[in-house]
Amino acid sequence: MKSHIDYHLESKNSSKTDYFSEIGHDWDNIVGNDDDRVRAIGEVFHMIDMAQNNTVLDVGCGNGVLIPIIQPYIGNNGKIIAVDAAAGMIETAKKKHAHFGNIQFRVGSVETIDLPENHVDVVLCFAVFPHIDNKEAALARFYEILKPGGALYIFHMSDTRSLNDFHDALDAPVSGDHMPERDELETMLKKASFTMDRYIDKEGLNFVKAIPMS
């Protein structure tokens, strides 16, 4: 298996979208999505409020690592809208999760995703928020499409400083893609009419829950 740095160096001249698209087929190996990591991601979901029949927006879904974790929470009558800017990621996700009948896959920008207002119960941003170019526009869009009582979750299996240091060290299109520190993020959320309801930043986890202001 190649290291993170090997893949980042091979793709350093690509655009960010092309970069992720090119490595989508092997993303699980690149980020180490083995059984232990997937189990750890699943543990985070104990802090995420989802229910049967919910509609969930999986932002920057990659090759769909969250999909099997989400499914038991929402059931067969729930719906997952899995969106990623990288076509290669979506292509891989479709192949991996073709047996699920309640997923709508989309290639495109989350800042301008075409969904009705008050349409989704939960927005999940796992390991993607630093890579969103216009974070303010994305947050504003999430506010519009969330139902009353819904929630936005932004999380990573790393603390903020370690995550940002890792990105800074890369020679790749994602170099310098940062997760905002708490104060900056809270300001962004307020501007988009969200309240930060929970914030955790410790070794192995950065977790944010934000709820729309009424």
DSSP-derived secondary structure for 123-137:
EEEES-GGG-S-HHH
User: Can you give the pTM of this predicted structure?
Assistant: 0.89
Question: How far is residue 199's CA from residue 167's CA, in Å, rounded to a whole number?
Answer: 21
Please choose, from the candidates 177, 183, 184, 186, the residue with its C-alpha nearest in 3D space to the C-alpha of residue 156: 177
- Residues of the chain below pLDDT 50: 1-13
| Annotation: CATH topology of 4-212 | Rossmann fold (3.40.50)
| 33 and 193 Cβ atoms separated by less than 8 Å | no
Which 3 state secondary structure label does DSSP give 50? Answer: coil
Token code pair at residue 21: 């698209």
Tell whether the torsion through CA atoms of 115, 118, 120 and 126 is positive or negative. Answer: positive
Question: How far is residue 203's CA from residue 160's CA, in Å, rounded to a whole number?
Answer: 9
Token code pair at residue 3: 């290291």
Please choose, from the candidates 163, 96, 79, 170, the residue with its C-alpha nearest in 3D space to the C-alpha of residue 129: 163
Tell whether the torsion through CA atoms of 28, 30, 36 and 40 is positive or negative. Answer: negative
Give the per-residue pLDDT at 30: 62
In tens, the pLDDT along 151-188 reads 999 999 999 999 999 888 877 787 889 999 999 999 99
| 89 and 61 Cβ atoms separated by less than 8 Å | yes
Give the per-residue pLDDT at 11: 38
DSSP result, 154-211: EEESS-HHHHHHHHHT--STTTT--PPPHHHHHHHHHHTTEEEEEEEEETTEEEEEEE
